[in-house]
Amino acid sequence: MTHNCAARRERQAGNYLLHTLQVLCFTLATLVGHAQSAPSPAFEVATVKPSDTKNPRPPSVTISRDQFEATGMTLRELIKIAYDLNYGANEQIAGGPAWASSTRFDIEAKEDEPVSKQLQNLPHDQREVELRQMLRTLLADRFKLRLHHESKELPIYQLVVAKGGPKLLPAVTKPTSNDEDKTAKPREWIRFAGKGVLEANGADPPMLVTVLSMQPEVGGRLVVDKTGLRGKYDFTLKWTSDMTPGGEVDAGPSLFTAIQEELGLKLESAKAPIDMLVIDSVELPAAD
């Protein structure tokens, strides 16, 4: 019973983290590279404390104008945010103690006013690079995190266009609430609309591979976009989820079949050299 409850909580956490993914991927997903030639600003103040295990809150990340908040996040999840890793890319982080994957933390970090203004004046891409670097600095300071990069050949899945071409529908702009001759830029999101049902509005392939990497069917492999598609699309994907409890009958297609039949795409197994982060040392943060 304990194992089943734990597994259920993990599945629920995965669903809650879809909202987190929307923040991470849609607010922070346009990074190019990790290295910065000039020193980046740091958060002025930050509090780090273990999450309340008696009254757990759904894992989430919130980024406002001058503040970064993370709730119920493990160190490994925070590393993925800081280093722009796909949420499902568990094998891209190696080493570290067991608590790095199990103990959850709440973080509140605030920028001072000059830094906040400096960031707001930067182009979007540069601003998000700076925010990630600030989070890396926080992890190094409070968790004493030290790591290095290694390249390792790992099994992955490549998302490619299937024979017959893609079946994705281009995203449709929606009229504004008034009657003027204007259109609003579509909101971009991917969400679960039920077990084995994925809905997308104005989504691109990089957003899709992020969510596919979360699914148990891919076995923790990294999913890489090799479609060559650059557009925004609306679509619904339905399949028989591996999360279906035993005893339930569901005659729907597997995830792999559904992707091909419904989206005109295909997941192909491959091996590729993957950039890994290896934790050299880390400490539990001092209580605030």
Nearest residue to 267 via CA among 108, 158, 118, 188:
158
Residue 287 lies in a domain: no
Residues 6 or more apart from 190 whose CB is under 8 A from it? 18, 22, 198, 199, 200, 201, 203, 207, 208, 210, 211
Residue 133 lies in a domain: yes
State whether 9 and 138 are in the same domain: yes
State whether 145 and 7 are in the same domain: yes
Instruction: Domain count for the chain, please give it.
Output: 2
State whether 109 and 195 are in the same domain: no
Looking at 122, 150, 178, the residue that finishes a domain is 150
State whether 175 and 266 are in the same domain: yes
Provide the residue range defining the domain that includes 197: 154-273
State whether 173 and 89 are in the same domain: no
Report the 10 Å Cβ neighbour count for 161.
Answer: 18
How do residues 89-101 score in pLDDT, each as one tens digit? 778 899 999 999 9
pTM for this prediction: 0.65
104 pLDDT above the threshold of 50: yes
Q: What's the residue count for the chain?
A: 288
| pLDDT band of 77, cuts 50, 70, 90 | very high
How do residues 122-138 score in pLDDT, each as one tens digit? 776 677 778 888 899 99
For position 188, what pLDDT does the model report? 78
Residue 7 lies in a domain: yes
Looking at 129, 150, 171, the residue that finishes a domain is 150
